[in-house]
Amino acid sequence: MAAAQDLLSRHAAPAGPASAVHDSGSVTGSGDAVFSKLQSRSKWRTQGAHPQLGEMVVVKDDRLPPNRWLLGRVTAIHPGSDGVNRVADVLTTTGTLRRAYNHLCPLPSTLDQAAPDPRGAAC
């Protein structure tokens, strides 16, 4: 408890009505802001790769095993109210599906030339 109070006293805002440490030893007020800044959330700070029009994707389905997931091509992208694309239409053998990006797995469109041939050397 003493170590936490020492940490808060070094990083807390000036003493006032919202002081970080009260006489009872509880941690409240501006001390919570200090702890939230110690670990940044990188997930929400970067844009991930999203499926593009015409790209081949695998459509994940929680009810099926991975070897039964559908293969399809992105035909349309639908932006949300904030302008960020989160939903796409995918053309599959069974028809067109509208799925969120977190249920789509884009497939690589080009082979990496630096990687060795998995079949071995050419004959």
Nearest-5° Cα angle at 27, 23 to 30:
110
Mean pLDDT by 10 residues, the chain (123 residues): 74 54 51 66 66 92 92 93 89 95 87 58 48
> Looking at residue 114, what is its pLDDT?
62
How many angstroms separate the CA atoms of 88 and 34, rounded? 39
Q: Residues 91, 53: contact at Cβ < 8 Å?
A: no
Q: Residues 86, 100: contact at Cβ < 8 Å?
A: yes
Which element (helix H / strand E) includes 97? strand 95-100
> Looking at residue 21, what is its pLDDT?
46
Residue found under tokens 């990687």: 115
Residue found under tokens 């239409």: 89
Q: 110, 74, 108, 65: which is closest to 92 by C-alpha? A: 74
- Domain ranges in the chain are 2-41, 56-106
How many angstroms separate the CA atoms of 78 and 57, rounded? 16
Going by DSSP bridges, is the β-strand pair 70-79/104-106 parallel, antiparallel, or unpaired?
unpaired
> Looking at residue 44, what is its pLDDT?
58
